[in-house]
Amino acid sequence: MAPLSLFSLLLSFLLFLSPAISTNSEGNALHALRSRLSDPTNVLQSWDPTLVNPCTWFHVTCDSNNHVIRLDLGNSNISGILGPELGQLQHLQYLELYKNDIRGKIPKELGNLKDLVGMDLYGNKFEGEIPKSFAKLKSLRFLRLNDNKLTGSIPRELTTLLNLKVFDVSNNDLCGTIPVDGPFSMFSLLSFENNKHLNGPELKGLVPYDFGC
């Protein structure tokens, strides 16, 4: 009997341990994010890094396994930059950071968020290119990057995102041409307007897609 109970104890301990470890890393990732952000209105006040998991932090939503699935910080008056640690939120489905004052590049590590359904980074001051790694976001349905300071061309790799329903890069400083393959065949030209160097739909074989970049 004793070995059995010992075993079950060990088992329960391991079971207890495994989600704790994984979610704590998500809490650490969010805490690292917080340390990069300036938060004048204290919307991140509840982000207590000493908690076992971040599920009772405000603006964070977990699933039943205590994995972070939503980060809702739209319109929150935060500024600063993003870091690679966001890529550790392996189960994230919605990343809502729209209408803030976030600067710097969009971390390529965001491409690791394989469950991501919606990413709203619009209305910030992001610069640099749209990461090619976004092509790995196979579940992505919404990608709104409009009203930033993004440059470079629209990565052709994004045409493989077959679930993409909404794509908006208007009001940036992108260049080249607009993809026409895959989901891009459905997007309205409004999604691309106000990019000074973006030269209309791609003419395959005639003009390189990054023409004018």
Shortest CB 204 distance to other proteins, Å: 28
Which stretch, 54-62, 80-88, 154-162, 205-213, contacts other proteins (CB under 8 A)? 54-62
Is residue 8 involved in binding other proteins (CB under 8 A)?
no
Closest CA to 37 of 75, 70, 74, 81: 81
x/- mask, other proteins, residues 91-120, rule CB under 8 A, reads ---x-x-xx-----------------xx-x
Kindly report the backbone phi and psi dihedral angles of residue 202, in degrees, each rounded to the nearest multiple of 5, phi listed first: -65, 135
d(CA 58, CA 213): 42
Is residue 26 involved in binding other proteins (CB under 8 A)?
no
d(CA 196, CA 194): 6
Which parts of 33-90 are beta strand (E)?
A: 37-38, 60-62, 68-72, 79-81
Question: Which 59-78 residues touch other proteins, going by CB under 8 A?
Answer: 59, 61, 64, 70, 72, 74-77
d(CA 119, CA 98): 9
What residues line the site for other proteins (CB under 8 A)? 41-43, 45-46, 48, 50-51, 55-59, 61, 64, 70, 72, 74-77, 94, 96, 98-99, 117-118, 120, 141-142, 146, 166, 168, 188, 190
